[in-house]
Amino acid sequence: MNDQHTLENELLTVLSNSLKNFELIVTEEQQQRLIRYVLMMHKWNKTYNLTSVRDPHQMVIKHIVDSIVVAPFLDKIHYIDVGTGPGLPGIPLAIMCPDKQFTLLDSLGKRVRFMKQVAYELKIDNIKPVQSRVEDFVPSVETDGVLSRAFASLKDMLHWCQHLVDSQGVFIAFKGQLSSDELKGLPVGFILQETIKLDVPGLEGERHIVKIKKQSVG
């Protein structure tokens, strides 16, 4: 138990040091919940193989900080996180944005069970983990935005997720290095709204978010 407490303090230090480098208000309670989520992911990962990142210190940077930097850009209410895996970026964003609702979609039952346990233990009531393939899922409420951290290409994301929002909704894709060819090659009916370069302290490589909308008909 003592080792667990030591690890928790170490991870809190990693997170708080990273947060010094950018303007994002994260309360002490939010920081503690984010780290408890990392500890749960680390524990379950040994059995369920939830993420390829094994070191919890790396999880803080690669999973938590990399997710929460997007929080200031979420200006609507209902979001769906497709291919969320163990709940990324949806769970960190739900902790950061308690006024917003997140549907977390994954096709693997073990990941959905993990997310439900996280919601229960950390008392996160603004997430809804759902086991479904993205192409089969029909939202029960109007979705304002689709979050994607998992899709290899924008083209694939738009192909599989186009039914999830109407022309009022937005697709928000997490990308590393941006390819101008990929941005120019968006499918017909979609327009690039903006690209935003993010500075993620401690993360190697580039990080961008790409916002895409459907073209309005008429």
pTM, 2 dp: 0.96
Q: What does the alpha-carbon distance between residue 140 and residue 136 come to, in Å, rounded to a whole number?
A: 13
Q: How confident is the model at residue 1 (pLDDT cuts 50, 70, 90)?
A: low
- Residue 200, pLDDT score: 86
- Residue 4, pLDDT score: 87
Helix (H) or strand (E) run with residue 198 in it:
strand 190-198
Is the confidence at residue 146, as pLDDT, over 70? yes
**Burial class of residue 34 in the structure, from the number of CB atoms within 10 Å of its CB (0-12 exposed, 13-18 middle, 19+ buried):** buried
Mapped onto helix, strand or coil, the DSSP state of residue 71 is helix
Tokens of 131: 């086991």
**Mean pLDDT lowest for which of 6-10, 110-114, 160-164, 198-202?**
198-202
Is the confidence at residue 127, as pLDDT, over 90? yes
Cβ atoms of 71 and 22 closer than 8 Å: no
Tell me, what DSSP letter sits at residue 216?
P
Cβ atoms of 94 and 115 closer than 8 Å: no
> How much is the mean pLDDT over the chain?
94
* 197-216 pLDDT, tens digit each: 998 878 888 999 999 999 98
CA 84, 177, 185: angle at the middle one, nearest 5? 85
- Residue 204, pLDDT score: 85
Residue 61: name the closest of 202, 211, 210 by CA. Answer: 202
